[in-house]
Homo-oligomer: A and B are copies of this chain.
Amino acid sequence: MNNSFLQHTSSAATWIWYPGDFEIVLANKMQNRRTERGTFFPVFWKIDNHYVLMDFHKVFDVPEQETVDIYVEGEYNVKLDGKAFEGSPKQITVPAGKHKINIKVFNQANVPAVYVKGKTIVSDATWLVTFEDKEWIDETGKASDISATKWLNAGSSNFNSPTQLPSQFALPVKEQTAVSTEKGENSMLVDFGKETFGFIKLHGLKGKGNLSVYYGESKEEALSTEHCETLDRVKVNSTEKKDQTMELSKAYRFVNVQYDEAVTLDSVSMLYEYADVKEQGSFTCNDEEINRIYDVAKYTFELNTREFFIDGIKRDRWIWSGDAYQSYLMNYYLYFDSETVKRTTYALRGKDPVTGHINTIMDYTFFWFLGIYDYYLYTGDKHFIAQNYDRMKTLMDYVLARRNKDGLMEWMSGDWIFIDWAAGLSKKGEVSFEQLLFARSLETMALCANIVDDKDAATQYNTLAADIRKKLFDIYWNDQKQALVHSRIDGKQTDNVTRYANMFSIFFDYFNQQQKEAVKKSVLLNDQIQKITTPYMRFYELEALCAMDEQSYVLKEMKDYWGGMLKRGATSFWEEYNPTKTGTEHYEMYGREFGKSLCHAWGASPLYLLGKYYLGVKPTAPGYATYSVEPNLGGLQWMQGKVPTPNGNIELHVTKEQVKIKAAAGAGTVVLKSKTQPTGNNISTVAKENGVYEIAVNPGSEYVINYKAE
């Protein structure tokens, strides 16, 4: 393996740890904060733990003697050029010259972490770490064999002050007040005006007795003391008025506080808990409903972007790979926050041995690989691939060991084949959608193997990927139906056509143009094919339609579907929406009155669709080294917005006559269908077939392109 991506550039001092360990432990803490009606409700898959003993080291060339401060989470020793200082020094002096510093840390309860700060000697991601140094001197003074020791670069995440202990990390909070409060005899119904998340704070609590807080994403839920999904119980015992903040943050718009007669309460506020990520992308257009949809999608995504990308804030609050995968894509068009993508990727993967699929779901293992494919495409970050490659390999080993006799993925004991929440969806035999995701995962492995220079593996993964892609068509393509069928059972193609494999094959470019056109008609726009009702799979369905230039159609769908939720008073987008339901039926799911999450990340897909398929910006080489801009108004009069890239934003303003574009970095190509030859300052256009023009865009300047939309 090529280690050229280790040892990337130095930075200021920061806390460091074994890559993934902080993330895994933080995920444990976060995911185990879920409660259901006051009861601890943990995940049902294996979760992992940190390495308790860690060696950190780096070689420095020190210009002149310096003193170095050392802060450590754990018991530790410090060695300079292999010789230990006595005790656990908080400060050492390092003479001028080339020196190796080792810090070995043991911490059972928390992640071993180190912060080192001298004039030139600082802890950062260029340090090397291992959980097994095999470094030993035998009785003759002969050094042990350390040739098999595996080093990675340290993990870090902007904990840049010595007092900012990684083990103490918590999201920031800010005070929020209610928009209205209805006071009852011994109760208070508080409305925060919109879906929110955080710690309820009870003010002026006094007396002796019991108090309950019933949370509701809807008013009905808060009022349903028997069926609301989350609640808190408080024992009050105070002769003085005092404030009390709940221990766990929760999701709600309404809270219904009920208390015994001997208890009094002045008011209720909350501490809004949020991830401090920066908004970079934007979208505005002439259609106010679309603008509202974009804003509520943004808020929905903000609420679900926490320590990690989670599924929904009320109920699961867990990291689900399929959900996270969509959050990554939305993130590239809003925050471009790579830290949260990496943190989520580490947390989902956990550690070896692999004992089950990610979240126990076969498709979710594959979405994990796909997430890395996209991460590389959007960021161009080879270093993360190198750091993560061994974990990718062992997870793929697990998958490969579970192929059936035909080399395909089929249900095995312990697997959950999810695909989608859809009535009567068959999981039997070999499901086409799983093979499709498997093929893309193998392509991801081949790509990453090449990045780390593991040539033999790259060849093997490519061969396997080609084989599965071929089988996808050999086994599932039905000429009569002009579609991929859903599955094969006992060696026979089934009759059933579902949308899943077909829509992914469009935007994965697995279909040729002819197949795409056929499938658009036979599947995507065919009402006979079972409809998708979750925003989860709507995400990909609408993406496929956009990839087939159906932006006008999709715009109407957006207004119907997301607009429909807004009309029903949604302040964030839901886990599921079925326009045929009425009233409180909308809140039901999983057989529970208020089982549905009214703020689910996968509900925010317009963020992605509007950025990628209306503004039309996407990378064509890793990290936006090159990119294309293919604006499509889809019936809008005008639109404008920003799309973030690793090196700054691409800003766009689009009408039917003019495209203004300015990009901070990368080599862009604006692709326009125009009735006339586009003109403008400083542009060189290339006519293509079918009246499509390509205009090269360099960073820094604003381009004003005049054209005439068809």
Hey, which bits of chain A sit against chain B, CB under 8 A? Answer: 25, 28-29, 32, 36-53, 75-77, 84-88, 104, 106, 108-110, 131-137, 139, 141, 144-149, 233, 352-353, 355-356, 360, 394, 412-416, 421, 589-591
User: In the assembled complex, which residues on chain B have CB atoms less than 8 Å from the CB atom of A29?
Assistant: 108
Interchain CB contact under 8 A, A144 and B39: no
Given A32-B106, A591-B141, CB of A87 within 8 Å of CB of B39: yes
Chain B residues with CB below 8 A from A43, complex form: 53
Residue of B nearest to A595 (CB): B139
Contact B47 A49 (CB under 8 A): no
CB-CB nearest in chain B for A596 = B139
Query: Are A134 and B44 in contact (CB-based, < 8 A)?
Result: yes
B135 touches A44 (CB 8 A): yes
User: Within 8 Å CB of A132, what residues of B?
Assistant: 44-46, 355-356
Q: How far is the CA of A149 from the CA of B45 in the complex (A)?
A: 10
CB of B38 within 8 A of CB of A86, answer yes
Q: Which residue of B lies closest to A351 (CB)?
A: B353
Question: In whole Å, how far is A41's beta carbon from the nearest beta carbon of chain B?
Answer: 7
Pairwise interchain contact A109-B106, C-beta atoms closer than 8 A? no
Cα-based distance from A256 to B329 in the complex (angstroms): 67
In the bound complex, what is the Cα–Cα distance between A590 and B137 (angstroms)? 9
CB neighbours (8 Å) of A39 from chain B are 77, 84-88
- A374 nearest CB across to chain B (Å): 27
Distance of A33 from chain B, by nearest CB (Å): 9
What is the CA–CA distance of A340 and B120 in the complex, to the nearest angstrom? 49
Collect the chain B residues with CB atoms within 8 Å of residue A394's CB.
353
**Given the complex of chains A and B, what is the CA–CA distance between A233 and B87 in angstroms?**
9
B134 pairs with A25, CB closer than 8 A: no
Minimum C-beta distance from A346 to chain B (A): 16
**Cα of A43 to Cα of B106 in the assembled complex, Å:** 10
Contact B25 A145 (CB under 8 A): no
- Does the CB pair B141–A77 fall under 8 Å? no
Interface pair B360/A136, CB less than 8 Å apart: yes
Q: Is the CB of B139 within 8 A of A40?
A: no
Minimum Cβ distance to chain B for residue A611 (Å): 30
CB distance from A392 to the nearest CB of B (A): 15
Q: Using known A-B contacts A144-B360, A414-B145, determine if residue A77 contacts B355 with beta carbons closer than 8 Å.
A: no
In the complex, residue of chain B having the shortest beta-carbon distance to the beta carbon of A150: B355
Q: Are A52 and B47 closer than 8 Å at their CB atoms?
A: yes
Minimal beta-carbon separation of A151 from chain B (angstroms): 13
A646 → B minimal CB distance (Å): 34
Q: For residue A415, which residues in chain B have a CB less than 8 angstroms away from its CB?
A: 145, 148
Q: Please give, as numbers and ranges, the residues of chain B lying within 8 Å of A135 by CB-CB distance.
A: 44
Pairwise interchain contact B76-A40, C-beta atoms closer than 8 A: yes
Please name all residues of chain B whose beta carbon is closer than 8 Å to the beta carbon of A355 when the two chains form the complex.
132
User: CB distance B28 to A416 under 8 Å?
Assistant: no
Q: Is the CB of B46 within 8 A of A148?
A: no
Contacts of A110 in B (CB 8 A): 109
On chain B, the residues within 8 Å of A88 by CB distance are: 39-40
B residues in contact with A32, CB < 8 Å: 53, 75, 106
Given contacts A45-B132, A49-B51, A87-B233, 19 further A-B contacts (CB under 8 A): A28-B108, A29-B108, A41-B77, A42-B104, A44-B133, A44-B136, A46-B51, A46-B132, A47-B52, A49-B49, A49-B50, A109-B109, A132-B355, A134-B356, A134-B414, A139-B591, A141-B590, A147-B413, A149-B414
Alpha-carbon gap, A175 to B172, bound state (A): 51
In the complex with contacts A40-B106, A108-B25, A145-B416 CB distance below 8 A: yes
Residues of B within 8 A of A353 (CB): 352-353, 394
Contacts A49-B50, A110-B109, A145-B415: A139 and B589 contacting too (C-beta < 8 A)? yes
Chain B residues near A46 (CB-CB < 8 A): 51, 53, 131-132
Report B-chain residues with C-beta under 8 Å of the C-beta of A25: 108
CB nearest to A141 among chain B residues: B591
CB distance from A76 to the nearest CB of B (A): 6
- 10 A-B pairs with CB atoms under 8 Å apart are A25-B108, A36-B84, A39-B85, A42-B104, A44-B133, A44-B134, A46-B131, A86-B233, A149-B414, A353-B353
Tell me which residues across on chain B come within 8 A of A50, comparing CB atoms.
49
CB distance from A570 to the nearest CB of B (A): 20
User: Do B360 and A139 have beta carbons less than 8 Å apart?
Assistant: no
Considering the chains assembled together, what is the distance between the CA atoms of A199 and B87 in angstroms?
A: 18
- How far is the CB of A525 from the nearest CB of chain B, in Å? 27
Most chain B CB within 10 A, of A43, A53, A355, A416, is at A53
Considering residues A40, A136, A352, A413, which has the most beta carbons from chain B within 10 angstroms of its beta carbon? A40
A134's partner among B42, B45, B108 (CB-CB below 8 A) is B45
Interfacial chain B residues near A591, Cβ < 8 Å: 139, 141
Check A147/B414 contact, CB under 8 A, given A39-B87, A77-B40, A132-B356: yes
* Residue in B131, B352, B416, B590 whose beta carbon sits within 8 Å of that of A352 in the complex: B352
Give bound CA distance, A148 to B137, whole Å: 44
Tell me whether B134 and A360 are in contact (CB under 8 A): yes
How long is the Cα–Cα vector from A75 to B31 in the complex, in angstroms? Answer: 13
Closest-by-CB residue of B relative to A148 is B414
How far is it, in angstroms, between the C-alpha of A448 and the C-alpha of B421 when the chains are bound? Answer: 45
**Neighbouring B residues of A133 by C-beta, 8 Å:** 44
A48 to B48, CA, bound (A): 11
Among B42, B45, B104, B413, the residue within 8 A (CB) of A145 is B413
Q: Are A37 and B86 in contact (CB under 8 A)?
A: yes
CB distance B356 to A148 under 8 Å?
yes
